[in-house]
Amino acid sequence: MSSRWFALVSLICGLAVALGGPARAHNSDSLIPILVSLEHWTPFFWGQDRFGMPLALAASPIRSGLWNLVAQNAASIALLVAGLHALLRRLQIAHAEVAALGTLLALLVWPSAAVPRVLLTTEQSYAPALGLIGFALAAVASSSRYAVAIAITTGVVATWLNAGVSLLVVCVAAVACAWPRLRRPAAVMAAGALAGLALHRLLAEAMPHVVDTTHVRVPPPEHVWPLLGGFWRRGYTELVGRGHLLVALAGAGCLAAAASAQWRAGIVAVVAGSALYGSIMAVAFDGLPRHLAPVLAVLLAIGLARLLVHLPRLGRSAIAAGVVAVLLAAWPRSPERLRGDLLARFEPEGTAVALRDGVAAVTGDYWTVWPVVFSASHLVPGPPRTPIVPVTLRSDVLSRDVRFAPGTRVLAIPRGDLDHWRHMTGTPLAEPCTTTRGVDVCVVR
């Protein structure tokens, strides 16, 4: 199958995932990129510099909240699948299409809920960054300078999408330089990733009042081993869950790859580089288990591609079967059904009160405020509304310059949670607030 036709297949699969089961996992983290696109675009996710917002910029002409969410999510998955296919095909690996679709299928059916949430929604941007890295590696396989320039540029954009993925690339490239035949592609990929990380730093320096720059920590030596042990243990528990059989199959594929002279250098570089990357994340950064999600996706793709090598020639029927399997696993719903499911999940009582009482701002806990703001401003059907102002963690871009007039109604969710309001606005509220449907409606004095 040609790359153009497979790009269409990737888009179909991306749309199915965006309308399907993973959409049930959307939360405040995955909604902010949609609000960035609709209300105030910035180069980075609001309040941090770990991943950028190029997809939010590309989707900004789509003014519907539902369709903006679907478009960004679908584009993320399509980039992942198409990037994997481009890389596997350039490496002349048999059944590249089936391997790319199989990787997406494995992520869809993964027993741990954290995996589809982190990799298949707009929460962390690992998927599109990995897809662009796949395109970059496919380009660098060519010997032309033009292809090298494309690979470096693509690496920079991938870094902008997710700095953690580029750190993974740098670690794998550093290990790959031990093999002479891998030094050229490793150097190009490292150059793109390092250039992207430098761009990250420059953009963060240009936005000191908006972005919380990620800081490296230096723990004392006696804390290193406990940090490493806890990180790998939590990572396995959270990301693998009950997926031991799938991990065993991926591991068998990777071992088979390492046993082959053609694959050995690459698989050793990936495994050793991933271990180095995970160790750096555990010791020097916050050590959250989700940082291992791109490693899981890469190892799944490698293991599956290697296992498929032993199968006889697979025709278009196998690709069609892969698409059908992805559609069945994703189980897409109609856009309106998805809208209803999200509204039922995203703090429906708070949304109803916000719309009924003419609330202009919502304050409280990060995980409850953003779903109410998104639902009331962009998800509930009806004519365009003035966006409700959030006053909570990561809301500085929208709330720092707002002056709330006396009589303005403010929703506090959960009830009584006014800490963010007092800290960020200094505007007094008439207390006690009125409690309705389990939330507080307050009035600015």
pLDDT digits (tens, 9 = 90+) for 29-59: 999 999 999 999 998 999 888 889 999 999 9
Whether residue 11 is contained in a domain is answered as: yes
CA end-to-end distance (rounded Å), the chain: 66
Whether residue 107 is contained in a domain is answered as: yes
Compute the distance between CA of residue 361 and CA of residue 270 in angstroms, rounded to an integer: 48
Domain check: are 77 and 165 in the same one?
yes
DSSP state of 1: -
Whether residue 293 is contained in a domain is answered as: yes
pTM: 0.93
Whether residue 413 is contained in a domain is answered as: yes
Whether residue 336 is contained in a domain is answered as: no
Domain check: are 62 and 203 in the same one?
yes
- The residue from 303, 330, 357 where one domain ends is 330
Domain check: are 303 and 417 in the same one?
no
Give 263 or 157, the one with higher predicted confidence: 157
Whether residue 157 is contained in a domain is answered as: yes
Q: Which domain holds residue 326?
A: 3-330
Amino acid at 99: A
E strand intervals along 393-428 = 409-413
DSSP state of 379: I
Domain check: are 289 and 367 in the same one?
no
Among candidate residues 115, 145, 107, the one with its CA nearest the CA of residue 14: 107
Top-ranked range on mean pLDDT: pick from 202-206, 316-320, 420-424: 420-424
Structural domain count, the chain: 2
Res. 123: pLDDT tops 90: yes
Greatest Cα-to-Cα distance within the chain, rounded to the nearest angstrom: 75
Three-class DSSP category at 333: coil
Domain check: are 351 and 377 in the same one?
yes
What radius of gyration do the chain's Cα atoms show? 23
Whether residue 65 is contained in a domain is answered as: yes
